[in-house]
Amino acid sequence: MKPIVEMTQSELGAFVQTQLRKRGIELVLSGGAVVSIYSKNRYVSKDLDFVNIYAARRNSIQAAMEELGFHEEGRYFIHSDTQFFIEFPPGPLTIGDEPVKQIDELEFPTGTLKIISPTDCVKDRLAAYYHWGDQQCLVQATLVAQLQHIDFKEVERWSKLEGKLDDFEKISSRLRGGL
């Protein structure tokens, strides 16, 4: 097994997920790390947000992470051999008011990484843009949209459900690679 110090963000995520899955803790990667992966590191995030999809107890997660050499500092788990830190935001795994429908799996030498789809990643970033005006999240959504296959009809449908169809129409060409 590759040492943690040599793992990329994706490899570390796959390692942690695989090890916790062996202990009955099911997780899905969401947030900025997903943007990093799908944007081929054009956006860099130092954290990995694993949504605990079956509500495993925090003390179970803590014990499993400690077995892997991580220690808890505030809401993050830190390991001295990596610059990346890990967080376990509470479920459910939703984007806006809607449950995530598609979980992708990426294979690495360190394990299997369950991750939200590129389309859901774009929706996740747009949620922050729509509801809080977060321009950085719009940039992140655009990066992912221009580098991955995105179901724009699904993004449009979801945007309408969120009451943000007008906003989607204003940024649609930007997401698709226009100005």
Q: What is the mean pLDDT for each group of 10 consecutive residues in the chain (179 residues)?
A: 93 97 95 96 94 87 96 95 94 90 95 97 96 95 96 97 96 83
Cα 143 to Cα 80: distance, rounded to the nearest angstrom: 31
The CATH architecture one would assign to domain 4-116 is 2-Layer Sandwich (3.30)
Q: What pLDDT score was predicted for residue 90?
A: 82
* Residue ranges covered by each domain of the chain: 4-116, 119-175
| Percent of residues, the chain, with pLDDT higher than 70 | 99
Q: How many CB atoms lie within 10 A of CB 83?
A: 10
Q: What pLDDT score was predicted for residue 126?
A: 97
Q: What pLDDT score was predicted for residue 103?
A: 96
Q: What pLDDT score was predicted for residue 166?
A: 97
> DSSP label at 5?
G
CB of 158 closer than 8 Å to CB of 95: yes
Q: What pLDDT score was predicted for residue 14?
A: 98
> DSSP label at 150?
-
Cα 60 to Cα 43: distance, rounded to the nearest angstrom: 32
